[in-house]
Amino acid sequence: NAGVTQTPKFRVLKTGQSMTLLCAQDMNHEYMYWYRQDPGMGLRLIHYSVGEGTTAKGEVPDGYNVSRLKKQNFLLGLESAAPSQTSVYFCASSYFRSAGSEQFFGPGTRLTVL
């Protein structure tokens, strides 16, 4: 099993450009999450999904959109990138709904917006 994979690993954008980050998991997990990690701020939840076709806002959703058309994939989109979106983005998934359920993380995508 590959676990949670993220594409691409690195990306540089110019302000105003758009892009989509892809997260895929092969563990048949129902729940998927997108986080951003910034120095000194830990990880913050952007959007999450509790199942195929459903998405919800997290702590810092502004400037991002998501889609979960297939159970195994969770896409994060930036329609018009801004320098404030320079960050490392992590996708995670979990099998159970319970708050005690472990989340499995991907290796991250390092995004720079110039």
Partner 1 sequence: AQSVTQLGSHVSVSEGALVLLRCNYSSSVPPYLFWYVQYPNQGLQLLLKYTSAATLVKGINGFEAEFKKSETSFHLTKPSAHMSDAAEYFCAVSVNTGGGNKLTFGTGTQLKVEL
Instruction: Note the residues at the interface with partner 1 (CB under 8 A).
Output: 4, 31, 33, 40-45, 48, 50, 56, 58, 90, 92, 94, 96-103, 105-108
Half-sphere exposure of 69 (CA within 13 A, CB side): 3
Q: Could you tell me the smallest distance in angstroms from the CB atom of residue 103 to partner 1?
A: 6
Q: Could you tell me the smallest distance in angstroms from the CB atom of residue 86 to partner 1?
A: 17
Complex with partner 1: residue 17 or 73, whichever CB lies closer? 73
The long-range contacts involving 101-108, CB below 8 angstroms and separated by at least 24 positions, are: 101/31, 103/33, 104/3, 104/4, 104/25, 104/27, 104/29, 105/4, 106/3, 106/4, 106/5, 106/6, 106/23, 107/5, 107/6, 107/9, 108/6, 108/9, 108/37
Q: Could you tell me the smallest distance in angstroms from the CB atom of residue 80 to partner 1?
A: 27
Complex with partner 1: residue 3 or 83, whichever CB lies closer? 3
By C-alpha distance, which of 95, 70, 75, 89 is closest to 1? Answer: 95
Q: Could you tell me the smallest distance in angstroms from the CB atom of residue 16 to partner 1?
A: 28
Complex with partner 1: residue 17 or 88, whichever CB lies closer? 88
Complex with partner 1: residue 81 or 92, whichever CB lies closer? 92
